[in-house]
């Protein structure tokens, strides 16, 4: 991102507070601290999220014969309840949820979201449509400001506010939260140079897996993303959109170290039941 050199004058009593933000890692110096504080003050807050809970959960059968994957219980609470709690705790209170398979299990439990301290709007898919079509369906609720997109089968110990600060600082169309895996061929593998994603490849061949960094299924997107969704009915963010944006230099990657699970198989679900915090 381009910067312009400025000379400013500050009250002396403010300088210790400004300098208190300098940690030599995230905030490098006084100039960077001032930029960070201005960004927090002037840039929009992250207020909205799209959570994708469609699909039939074929890989999670027999569990998903009777309930959508997002409603599978973890310590007597559905996965989606943890996600909504994460969003609410990070001041994201306007949530659009894509529902499909056994949608009433979700809508009956969460209603309009008021019991959970949020406002929920539902959009529906009649049959699995990928991620492109739901993005366009949600456009009228999300347009005009950045928003978070998250999959409804992901549990993550992630600091969303820090993720959004990173997104603001680097100014790309999409920021991708990154975890790591010993089997990156099962996920969306990325090649990262600094903070920029140079290549995004969804479920690459094992021989192509030159990086262990993977998409955690959590994104922050600018509203310009809607103009990049293909017109075809069935399209996917990871297959049809992100690889092209990476080649154009419009993807940033934010690695985080918190606990993360993509609950895509019964084996992973069993691990979650043992390891996820209550």
pLDDT digits (tens, 9 = 90+) for 137-185: 999 999 889 999 999 999 999 999 999 999 988 889 999 999 888 777 7
Residues 150 and 235 in one domain: yes
- Residues 36 and 73 placed together within one structural domain of the fold: no
Query: Domain limits at 217?
Result: 48-275
- Asked if residues 262 and 60 have their Cβ atoms less than 8 Å apart, the reply is no
Using the structure block, give the residue that is written with the tokens 């409804």: 152
Q: Cα(71)–Cα(105) distance, rounded to whole angstroms?
A: 7
Average pLDDT over residues 225-237: 84
207 pLDDT higher than 60 = no
Distance of CA 135 to the CA centre of its chain: 13
User: Residue 56 in contact with residue 101, Cβ under 8 Å?
Assistant: yes
Given a cut of 80, whether residue 233 has pLDDT beyond it is no
Q: Tell whether 29 and 104 lie within a shared domain.
A: no
Task: Please tell me whether residues 159 and 260 are part of one structural domain.
Answer: yes
- Residue 188 and residue 225 in one domain: yes
Q: What is the pLDDT of residues 59-98, one digit of tens each?
A: 767 776 788 889 999 999 999 999 999 999 999 999 999 9
Query: Beta 77-78 vs 260-262: how paired, if at all?
Result: unpaired
Is the same domain home to 21 and 126?
A: no
Residue 7 lies in a domain: no
| CA-wise closest residue to 50 among 118, 165, 151 | 151
Do 160 and 148 meet the contact criterion of CB atoms below 8 Å apart? yes
Same domain, 32 and 111: no
Residue 112 lies in a domain: yes
Q: Which residues of 156-181 are buried (b: 16+ CB within 10 A; e: fewer)?
A: bebbbeebbbbbbbbebbbbbbbbeb
DSSP letters along 162-201, please? Answer: HHHHHHHHH--SEEEEEEE-S-GGGSEEEEEETTEEEEEE
pLDDT at 14: 77
Pair (30, 72) in one structural domain? no
- How high does pLDDT run on average in the chain? 86
CATH number of 255's domain: 3.90.550.10
In this structure, are 31 and 68 located in the same domain?
no
User: What does the pLDDT read at residue 151?
Assistant: 94
How many structural domains are present in the chain? 2
And the tokens for 254?
A: 């934010």
Q: For residues 136 and 198, state if they share a domain.
A: yes
Please check whether residue 105 lies inside any domain of the structure. Answer: yes
- Compute φ and ψ for 239, nearest 5 degrees: -90, -45
Same domain as 255, residue 220 = yes
Q: Would you state the pLDDT for residue 209?
A: 55
- In 3-61 the beta strands, taken as DSSP E runs, fall at 48-53
Greater pLDDT, 40 or 178:
178
The answer to whether 54 touches 154, Cβ cutoff 8 Å, is: no
Predicted confidence (pLDDT) at residue 30 exceeds the cutoff of 90: no
Domain annotation covers residue 149 = yes
- At 95 the pLDDT is 97
Is residue 1 in a domain?
no
Q: Is there a domain that residue 10 lies in? A: no
Residue 73 domain flag: yes
Same domain (yes/no): 153, 33: no
For residues 230 and 241, what is the distance between their CA atoms, to the nearest angstrom? 8
Does residue 8 fall inside a structural domain?
no
Dihedral sign for Cα 162, 166, 172, 176, please. Answer: negative
């Amino acid at each position: 991102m381009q910067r312009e050199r400025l000379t400013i004058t500050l009250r002396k009593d403010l300088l210790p507070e400004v300098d208190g933000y300098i940690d030599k890692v995230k905030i490098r110096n006084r100039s960077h601290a001032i930029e960070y504080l201005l960004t927090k003050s002037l840039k929009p807050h992250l207020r909205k999220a799209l959570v994708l809970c469609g699909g039939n959960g074929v890989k999670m059968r027999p569990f998903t014969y009777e309930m959508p994957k997002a409603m599978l219980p973890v310590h007597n609470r559905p996965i989606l309840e943890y996600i909504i709690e994460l969003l609410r705790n990070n001041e994201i209170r306007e949530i659009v949820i894509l529902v499909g398979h056994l949608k009433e299990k979700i809508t009956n439990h969460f209603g309009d979201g008021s019991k959970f301290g949020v406002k929920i709007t539902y959009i529906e898919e009649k049959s699995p449509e990928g991620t492109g079509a739901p993005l366009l369906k949600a456009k009228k609720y999300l347009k005009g400001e950045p928003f978070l997109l998250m999959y409804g089968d992901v549990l993550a110990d992630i600091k969303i506010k820090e993720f959004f600060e990173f997104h603001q600082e680097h100014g790309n169309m999409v920021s991708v939260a990154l975890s790591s895996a010993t089997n990156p061929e099962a996920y969306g593998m990325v090649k990262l140079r600094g903070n920029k994603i140079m290549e995004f490849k969804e479920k690459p061949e094992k021989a192509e897996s030159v990086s262990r960094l993977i998409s955690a299924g959590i994104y922050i997107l600018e509203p310009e993303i809607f103009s990049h969704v293909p017109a075809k009915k069935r399209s996917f963010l990871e297959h049809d959109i992100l690889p092209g944006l990476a080649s154009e230099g419009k993807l940033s990657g934010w690695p985080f170290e918190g606990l993360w699970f993509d609950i895509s198989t019964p084996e992973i679900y069993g691990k979650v039941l043992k390891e996820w915090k209550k």
